[in-house]
Chains A and B, each alone.
Chain A
């Protein structure tokens, strides 16, 4: 009798649990899993939203890999952006948080100033950077001219468009800086004191204590910023000529090209094939990251 009642309570609690997570499950089925399944199937069709969809096998994928130069251009542009922006923002964020992890006067103000650009986003920020990088009237070339440097044409020069966007990303490095700072402030002071007794200088302490102990955050930051950087879109859409990735397709990033295919030429099957290639690329890179993690990520209580 007693046992039976206990079981009922357990079940009643489980039922409540399912009710609590039900909104997410419904949303997941309707807005993630369902669309994913449709998209996977549609990527093997010539779907274009208006006419019916005919199965075309691997034709979309074949066309992408063998017959579409812009696909490769967009992949190149995106990899360029990822390869430079991820390490630069990671190193920048670690460096700033290292400077910030002290008790110096004005630290709170510094933290506010460094973090502020990270909370700003959207078209307003892109317009601001279009002005800052304007070859004639912008702040960047004005400052460069003080040092006798003739600044480049930035967003108008195909060689400088991607560096321009990377500079813009570096401006908002304060977001990940906060992650590192929080992690650094959690490191026990005893470790540093012990190292000082052994005569370790600031650099040694950083290299042998701080750096190993923040590797879990570095790992998290690299994974999330890699996934994020692969998806660069809005910056290129707003800041490139006519939103088409110009000049000379130098800002035609993967997502921008996908956007043009999906919503301008309505080649939806083709665009969805593109999206699955991106998904697989991101997945493989994340798996490689996860695989490499034990070699360099130090978890507390893990002595290996």
Chain B
């Protein structure tokens, strides 16, 4: 149809037409991405901007897009108006334990599922995968009862001990990586008399280092941002984590948005830094989840 309308045009231009519209499409595409990026970044920019304003400026209408004066002392004030240092130390402690435990334990379990033949393996692994479908609250309430009976309430045990027994998602992720190790390599090591513990530690682990980094980062994020666990199990202020501290600070600071945004940013900062430094591991984790979600 297009061709007949433009019959009078020389042949050369006729052929070029799709190229031009293709460029137009690419430009439009690019513009959409730029606009989208600005939209997605605006909350973060707004958080930084608000955190540096004095309260009078926040209440001003129309709001200023950038602070007229940069009140860096808002951050100091925020940090000092609640025991944030204690919260930070607590959070770092829990997070470190969880990260180490997750990397170590899940890689151990995942290696078993990926590389050692034993009766009942497929059934067990199906159960591993199906536990991911259980809504968290179904086990949360009876777990609370269990931890209460063990007198673990108001301690970190409920937050840390379950991490020592692996988690389905991480097992799944690491298994995918272990499976890429050629079986010949494992067989060769077995020929030389190595058992699987040795092979796991000396051969397999070094080969999946990027995957371990991915698990470490995901675990860091999970433990750092965990709100539900500490909310349920920790009562003493001296045991609060940053997430709980921030929630309590929210009540205390009411609508003093500059302090609230400063506090939020401080709590989010380690995750943001980690993201920019280790972005490729974040993306690796996402890719492996997406591309292998259904091959069994």
Chain A residues near B260 (CB-CB < 8 A): 127, 130-131
Most interface-central of A35, A42, A259, A263 (chain B CB within 10 A): A35
A124-B268, A238-B247 are known contacts. Are A110 and B139 too (CB-CB below 8 A)?
A: no
- Residues 192-224 of B, flagged 1 when their CB comes within 8 A of A and 0 if not, give 000111001000000000000000000001001
**A112-B264 in contact (CB<8A):** no
Give CA–CA (A238, B44) in the complex, Å: 19
CB pair B227–A137 under 8 Å, yes or no, is no
CB of B63 within 8 A of chain A? Answer: yes
> CB of B145 within 8 A of chain A?
yes
Q: Which of B25, B47, B290 contacts A182 (CB 8 A)?
A: B290
Are A99 and B139 within 8 A (Cβ)? no
List residues of chain B with CB within 8 A of the CB of A120: 268, 271-272
> Is there a chain B Cβ closer than 8 Å to A220's Cβ?
yes
Give the residue of B131, B135, B224 whose beta carbon is less than 8 angstroms from that of A28: B131
Query: Given A25-B124, A127-B250, A275 and B47 touching (CB < 8 A)?
Result: no
Distance of A134 from chain B, by nearest CB (Å): 7
Q: Are A230 and B135 in contact (CB under 8 A)?
A: yes
Tell whether A123 pairs with B37 under 8 Å between CB atoms, given A175-B286, A233-B228: no
B50 and A131 within 8 A (CB) = yes
Residues 154 to 186 of chain B near chain A (Cβ within 8 Å): 162, 164-166, 171
Nearest CB in chain B: distance from A143 CB, A: 8
Report A261-304 CB contacts with B as 1/0, cut-off 8 Å.
Answer: 01100001001100110110011001000000000000100000
**Taking the complex as formed, is A159 at the interface, i.e. its CB lies under 8 A from any CB of chain B?**
no
Given contacts A24-B109, A124-B264, A283-B133, contact A268 B141 (CB under 8 A): yes
> Across the interface, do B225 and A122 meet the contact criterion of CB distance under 8 Å?
yes
The prevalent SS among residues of B at the interface is helix
Digitize A109-151: 1 where CB-to-B-CB distance is under 8 Å, 0 elsewhere: 1111111110111111101111110101101001001000000
Q: Within the complex, what minimum Cβ distance (angstroms) separates B187 from chain A?
A: 11
Asked if A104 is at the interface of the complex by the 8 Å CB criterion, the answer is yes
CB distance from A100 to the nearest CB of B (A): 7
Q: 0/1 per residue, A213-256, Cβ < 8 Å to B? A: 00011011000000100110110011000000000000000010
Q: Output the least CB separation between A47 and chain B (Å).
A: 8
- The reply to whether the CB of B29 lies closer than 8 angstroms to some CB of chain A is yes
Q: Quick one: closest A residue to B50, CB to CB?
A: A131
Q: Determine the distance from Cα of A25 to Cα of B131 in the docked complex, in whole angstroms.
A: 12
- Asked if B116 and A16 make an inter-chain contact with CB atoms under 8 angstroms apart, the answer reads yes
CB distance from B155 to the nearest CB of A (A): 16
Inside 8 A of B286's CB, which chain A residues have their CB?
Answer: 175, 178-179, 182
Q: Whole-angstrom distance from the CB of B131 to the nearest CB of chain A?
A: 6
A18 to B109, CA, bound (A): 9
* B 36-88 contacts with A by CB, 8 A: 36-37, 40-44, 46-47, 50, 58-59, 61-63
A139, B43: Cβ atoms closer than 8 Å:
yes
Partner of B293, one of A122, A220, A272: A220
Known interface pairs A110-B37, A278-B135. Does A102 touch B195 (Cβ–Cβ under 8 Å)?
A: no
Query: Is A32's CB within 8 Å of the partner chain B?
Result: yes
Q: Is the CB of A186 within 8 A of B291?
A: yes
| B169, chain A: closest CB distance, angstroms | 10
Which of chain B's residues have a CB closer than 8 A to the CB of A183?
290-291
CA–CA, A180 and B289, complex, Å = 11
Q: Which residues of B contact A129 (CB under 8 A)?
A: 43
Bound form: Cα–Cα A262–B247 in Å:
21
Q: B interface, how many residues as a size bin?
A: 35 or more
Q: How many interface contacts (CB-CB < 8 Å) are there between A and B?
A: 269
DSSP majority for the A interface? helix
Q: How large is the interface on A (under 10, 10 to 19, 20 to 34, 35 or more residues)?
A: 35 or more
B131 touches A32 (CB 8 A): yes
What is the minimal beta-carbon distance from B205 to any residue of chain A, in angstroms?
A: 13
Q: Is A56 an interface residue (CB 8 A)?
A: no
Q: Contact between B250 and A123 (Cβ–Cβ < 8 Å)?
A: yes
Residue of A at shortest CB range from B200? Answer: A20
Closest A residue, CB atoms, query B22: A202
Decide yes or no whether B108 CB sits under 8 A from chain A: yes
Is B196 a contact of A16 with CB atoms below 8 Å? yes
Contact A145 B196 (CB under 8 A): no
A194 at the interface (CB under 8 A from B): no
B127 is an interface residue with CB less than 8 A from chain A: yes
Is A164's CB within 8 Å of the partner chain B?
A: no
B208-264 with Cβ < 8 A to chain A: 221, 224-228, 231-232, 243, 246-247, 250, 255, 257, 260-261, 263-264
Would you call A14 and B40 a contact (CB within 8 A)?
no
Instruction: List 16 A-B pairs, Cβ < 8 Å.
Output: A13-B116, A18-B118, A21-B113, A24-B124, A49-B145, A106-B33, A114-B36, A114-B40, A115-B282, A123-B246, A127-B261, A127-B264, A132-B46, A137-B257, A171-B40, A268-B145
- Given A120-B272, A131-B46, A182-B287, 15 additional A-B pairs, CB 8 A: A13-B117, A20-B196, A34-B142, A106-B30, A123-B250, A124-B263, A124-B267, A134-B257, A178-B290, A182-B290, A202-B22, A216-B293, A278-B138, A279-B135, A299-B294
